[in-house]
Amino acid sequence: MSDEIKADEITADKPTVAAKVASTAVSPARSAAKLLRPSRRAVLTGLGAAATLPLFGRFNIVRAQGAPLKVGLMLPYSGTFAQLGENITSAFELLIAQKGGTLGGRALEIIKLDDESNPAKGPENMKRLVDRDMVDVVVGTVHSGVLMGMLQVARESGTLLIIPNAGAGAATGAQCAPNIFRSSFSNWQPAYGCGRIAADAGYKKLAYVTWDYAAGKESAAGFEEGAKEKGAEVVQVLTVPFPETNFQPILAQLPGLGVDAVGAFYAGGGAVQFIKDYAAAGLKDKLPLIASGFATDGTLGALGSVADGLVTGLHYADGLDTPTDNAFRAAFKEKAGREADVYAVQGYDAGQLLAAGLEAVQGDFDETDALHKAIAGAKLDSPRGPMTLSPSHNPVHNIYRRVVKNGMNVVDGVAVEALADPGVGCSMT
Ligand code: BEZ
């Protein structure tokens, strides 16, 4: 890339820039990164001294302003959530292509990292992107447990983090920060909507089934809250470890609980297995299932007719039939060769948030406060419908009631309009 700045072009003749950056950076590696890719603010600071610099030195500084912005995509490209990571990536790339390959005049360089949905490697993978690859922005990830390990690195380094799926409440709750944004949902939101859908349908006694990890636990709590507000109660929560797909132990217990219906949180390949096993156990016609829509988004091809009639709740649906959604779906299908789903929408909106920020500062990534303010205040015309961010930087959006018909998650009304996560514990609310 001819525009990219090289280490030896910068360090040799810019002591003023180097000193300024080193005094403000938060980690030695990040300091080094900034030395190699000086910010426009640092460049301007350095210009006072530039008068004394040789001409070739000033030339090099000016070139640095056009350096591509480095974006790290930290997502699962293997394992049970691989397809989710692929759809987020394709849609993020689609948004950039639609913007002509630049955001706010800055070209982007994308670095992809497969996080394998492995929480144990979360902090190390995030550090690798921030300290070794020296990215400016991280877009990631899908799995709540992995996200938990990324948050501390994002907070300490100040790296802009846009979360395109993982719903862990802490990211926009107790661990919220000015540089952390979400384009997806909090785990509480769709599950809360599902609890209301179940109670509105007249079910009084409910069970909940899920994986035993952050997203599952938070979904169970959201479901219970939504159901309780409408007069229903959750009598039992049953779990299997993530990403286990032997659901027989919990399926065997459900008929004996005396419940009217079952709430659920599963996604990706695990959801396909769960829904098939639920039907095979003869439960589909006995105990209505009301799952967070992740169970049937991106999985209907693999599920086939076994999913027909399932009711779910989510912040996206098929058949919204808005000009924005129709255009998005057509463009996504043309690019990726498959139908759009909620993950694609969230990846696209991660791109829209980044675009809103960079366009507001005309690509000057070091106008940090203005950049953050523009992202926080973005009013997106999302394929999901209108979307804004709450004070804790979490999407405010509709939760739709959906029914599976003819291989689609057909919208069947709005369960909760413009639902905001309460952002409990966030110091910015
Ligand atoms: C999560 O871990 O937060 C998550 C994973 C897949 C779908 C939805 C949420």
Backbone angles phi, psi at 321, to 5 degrees: 55, 40
Output the CA 163–ligand 1 centroid distance in Å. 11
End-to-end CA distance of the chain: 42
CA distance 234 to 107: 50
DSSP secondary structure, 230-299, as one string: TT-EEEEEEEE-TT----HHHHHHGGGG--SEEEEE--HHHHHHHHHHHHHTT-TTTS-EEEEGGGTTTT
Query: What local confidence, expressed as pLDDT, does residue 55 receive?
Result: 28
Task: Check if the beta carbon of residue 363 is closer than 8 Å to that of residue 99.
Answer: no
Query: What local confidence, expressed as pLDDT, does residue 1 receive?
Result: 28
Query: What local confidence, expressed as pLDDT, does residue 43 receive?
Result: 30
Task: Check if the beta carbon of residue 74 is closer than 8 Å to that of residue 113.
Answer: yes
pLDDT along the chain (429 residues), means of 10: 26 23 31 39 28 28 63 97 97 98 97 98 98 98 98 98 98 98 98 98 98 98 98 98 97 98 97 98 98 97 98 98 98 97 98 98 97 98 98 98 97 98 97
CA distance 137 to 350: 11
| 81 Cα nearest atom in ligand 1 | 6
Minimal-distance CA residue to ligand 1 atom 3: 166
Give 73's strand partners: 112, 139
**What residues are in contact with ligand 1 under a 6 Å CB criterion?**
81, 142-144, 165-168, 187, 215, 267, 294
DSSP secondary structure, 25-65, as one string: -SSHHHHHHHHHS--HHHHHHHHHHHTTS-HHHHHHHHHHT
